[in-house]
Each structure stands twice: as C-alpha cells, then as structure tokens.
Amino acid sequence: MLWNIDAGWFIMAFGTVAGVSYMMALMMESSIGKEGYGPFLHATFITGGFFLAILGANYQGINLADLKWALVYGGAGAFATMLAMLLLRAVVVRLS
C-alpha cells in the first residue's frame, strides 16, 4: 500500500498521522507525567508504530487497499509500539 502511493499523498498521510499522534501524545503526557518520554517522543513512537505495522502487513502479503483496515492495522501497531516502549521504560526505571 505504501509503495503504490505518490510522494504527495505519502507526505499528506505522514503529516496527518504525525499531527494526530502529537495531539494524542499531549493528552497522554497529562496523564503519564514524568514516567513517560515526553510528547515529542511519544508522537514519534506512535507515528513510527503506525507506519511500521502497515509495512509489516504489506510484507506479509496482507492487502490494505481498504482504508478502514489500514487504520485498524496502523492503530494496533501504534498501540503495541507505545505499550512496548512504556513497559521498557518502566522496567529500566524499576531496575535502576
């Protein structure tokens, strides 16, 4: 899916996902506080997880031509990446 779109559409998709992720990261920052990474890194993890999940699904041969399924896979990847990073930080803080 990502390989078949033009550069302009990819830039618009990346900007939209990054903007929504930053708004979500700001909301998460108010509840997580100093236990998190900060809103910019949270938004980076969410955006990266979103696009990596879509690339992983494409690599596995899953067709995400329907936008609904692309959003489901991307959202699940973003949630999983954010959860893994927060758990990693919790373990590192707990052990140190």
pTM over 0.85: yes
Query: What does the alpha-carbon distance between residue 6 and residue 35 come to, in Å, rounded to a whole number?
Result: 39
88: burial class by Cβ within 10 Å (0-12, 13-18, 19+)?
A: exposed
Query: What does the alpha-carbon distance between residue 40 and residue 6 come to, in Å, rounded to a whole number?
Result: 27
- Residue 31: both structure tokens together: 């509840």
Would you state the pLDDT for residue 66? 87
pLDDT digits (tens, 9 = 90+) for 24-67: 999 999 998 888 899 999 999 999 999 999 999 999 999 888 88
pLDDT digits (tens, 9 = 90+) for 82-94: 999 999 999 999 9
* CB-CB contact of 57 with 73 (8 Å): yes
- Kindly list the domain boundaries of the chain, sorted by start residue: 2-95
